[in-house]
Amino acid sequence: LGRYRHLNAFVNVANPESVLARVATAAGPSPTDNVDPRSPNGRLVAIKDNICTTDIPTTAASGILKDFQSPLDATVVRNLREAGAIAVGKTNMDEFGMGSHTTHSHFGATKSQVDGTDRSAGGSSGGSAVAVATGQCWAALGTDTGGSVRLPAAYTGTVGFKPSYGLLSRWGVIAYANSLDTVGILGNDVDSVEGVFDITNVHDHQDPTSLDPTTRSCLPIEAPPPSRTLKVGVPMDYNISTLDPVVRKAWLRSLQLLQKRGHTLHKVRLPATQHALSAYYVLAPAEASSNLAKYDGVRYGSRAEGKDGTPESVLFAKTRGEGFGPEVQRRILLGAFSLSAQAIDNYFIQAQKARRVVQQDFDKVFATLNRLNSSEYGNKTEGVDVLLCPTAPTLAPRLSEIQDQKPLHAYMNDVFTVPASLAGLPAISVPIRVDQAPNSENAEATGMQIIGQYGDDKLVLAVARELL
């Protein structure tokens, strides 16, 4: 980790002696006994710092939780430890998951240096992405509320997977926006990501939003055989005028590759996409303002200095003013406003309606019926199996470029990732190399996103494998 300390990918690391002892006692990975590229046994896994661990503090990169030590492991961490994985450290992030560049952290920004220049690592799981990209771990856990695993993957040239909502337990994961929060996985290839997914994709009775065993049993367990011809949807609404030509070229190249492998391409329309970003930035802060109300320095979080007898309201305000960074404060204000009596009809309710329309758009184009909304399971005669589109409209920006940008600018990075989040669909970002002129200042890779119908996680992973 020392060699990469300047990248600031980790907030805290595990005790090196205990990590070494675990590596020594694990059954693998000696070249002979751990040949399974999907097995986490004996392998190092980094954990985003909003996922609770008993042996390392959990801060969510916030001043308000800077001293928090969880007495329990999150279910996903327990799943991984039971499978032999070694938690190597807690990764840097945007405070409480709010951001797109991992610059809004109490512990300073994470840097990505894929091509020698300091670039945005994406956010909010930027620390996990950089830890994976630099080989400091085999795989990493992140969280994805509106793109926080996929965007960092696209910006760092790694694979980032957001499973269907409700498959991976959120118990022990610090909430940002409950109806959107999903644990996600980052790795350098599809094998490691799928290996972590297989271990963590289990029902958890402690998480009320964990998909119940009966519905789980209706989801496809395996991907279709590689020989099956797939219908790949090309969402024309993602071909926006501000799409970087290099990204558009990589998109075309990926489509051609799938076509060469025998799959067919189909133009589709997802017209509500244009409202998805605004809807997301009303709904996510609304949920966040409610979730973060508990950090008042009395029940939760570090408390600001105050004499005995200081009125509670003064102490709350001081604690929250000191403990939360500016982006989190902005989101709390936004959320509190959109939920207030005078604004709820025009903002929160409208955004909920837009969310429903985004979901319906996806259901219209997929050949498989949505297993959550329809009483019958099966396929329609028309429709596509997966969608292929870019993960982000541009390559990873330089850190110097984003320093003075307005908050709204950062929100725009999420324009292609939030629709799948609003609909709870599985989506993966895979790195596609881009052509560059010699000495070009461009990043080396961009991310292509594969989106599937709810529960088609294995299909999405299989298509990702074909693209890599």
- Which residues are part of the catalytic machinery? 48, 124, 148
CA distance from start to end of the chain = 27
Say how far residue 191 (Cα) sits from the centre of its chain.
Answer: 18
Name which of 197 and 281 has its Cβ closer to ligand GLN. Answer: 281
CA 69 → CA 54, 72, 194, distances in Å? 7, 9, 30
**CA torsion angle 358 360 363 369 (round to 10):** 140
- 386-390 and 231-235 beta bridge pairing: parallel
Contact between 56 and 48 under an 8 Å Cβ cutoff? The reply is no
**Contacting ligand GLN within 2-61 (CB under 6 A):** none
By beta carbon distance, the residue nearest ligand GLN is 148
Task: Determine which residue in the list 146, 233, 383, 424 makes contact with ligand GLN, applying CB under 6 A.
Answer: 146
Contacts of 429 (CB under 8 A, 6+ apart): 149, 150, 151, 153, 154, 159, 160, 161, 391, 447, 448, 449
Nearest distance, CB of residue 101 and ligand GLN, angstroms: 9
Degrees (nearest 5) of the Cα angle 111, 432, 104? 25
Q: Which stretch binds ligand GLN (CB under 6 A): 83-91, 137-145, 205-213, 256-264?
A: 137-145
Site string for ligand GLN, 259-288 (x = CB under 6 A): -------------------------x----
CB 97, min distance to ligand GLN, A: 3
Question: Concatenated DSSP letters for 381-409?
Answer: SS-BSEEEEESSSSSPPBHHHHTT--HHH
Q: Which two tokens stand for residue 266?
A: 């189909």
Is residue 446 within a helix (H) or strand (E), and if so which, with residue range? strand 445-452
Give the binding-site size for ligand GLN (rule: CB under 6 A): 15
Tell the smallest beta-carbon distance from residue 123 to ligand GLN (Å): 6
Binding mask 93-132 for ligand GLN (x = CB under 6 A): ----xxxx----------------------xx--------
Stretch that binds ligand GLN, among 146-154, 370-378, 384-392, 396-404 (CB under 6 A): 146-154
Contact range with ligand GLN by CB under 6 A, out of 11-19, 63-71, 112-120, 140-148: 140-148
Map residues 394-423 to x or -, x wherever contact with ligand GLN holds by CB under 6 A.
--------------------x---------
Considering only the stretches 145-153, 239-247, 258-266, 366-374, report the one whose residues sit in contact with ligand GLN under the rule CB under 6 A.
Answer: 145-153
Q: Return residues touching ligand GLN (CB under 6 A).
A: 97-100, 123-124, 143-148, 176, 284, 414
